[in-house]
């Protein structure tokens, strides 16, 4: 019960912050910026979520032979270029 109450309290706080967020004046430009930076954003996410967390099972996988941060960089570059 306490866990659910905490969940809903956080949800209410998020809605409160959202209500004070100014609307995007140029949504198309915002999407364009996200698309231009998607590879860097993905690599930042991988670093924070995988490589900076010793207990993450994907980090273990990337320590196998032929697997590395460089491999994930090549993979994201290849996947990013195929999405244009």
- pLDDT tens digit sequence for 6-46: 999 999 998 888 888 888 899 999 999 999 999 899 889 98
Mean of all residue pLDDT scores within the chain? 82
- How buried is 42 (Cβ within 10 angstroms: 0-12 exposed, 13-18 middle, 19+ buried)? middle
**Would you place residue 66 in the very low, low, confident or very high pLDDT band (cuts 50, 70, 90)?**
low
- Distance between CA atoms of residues 60 and 50, nearest Å: 9
Summarize the chain as % helix, strand, coil (round to 5): 75, 0, 25
């Amino acid at each position: 019960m306490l866990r659910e109450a905490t969940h809903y309290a956080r949800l209410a706080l998020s809605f409160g912050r959202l209500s004070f967020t100014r609307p995007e004046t140029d949504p198309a430009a915002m999407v364009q910026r996200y698309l231009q930076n998607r590879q860097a954003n993905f690599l930042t996410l991988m670093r924070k979520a995988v490589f900076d967390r010793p207990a993450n099972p994907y980090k273990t996988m990337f320590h196998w032979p032929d697997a590395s941060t460089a491999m994930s960089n090549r993979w994201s570059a290849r996947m990013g270029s195929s999405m244009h």
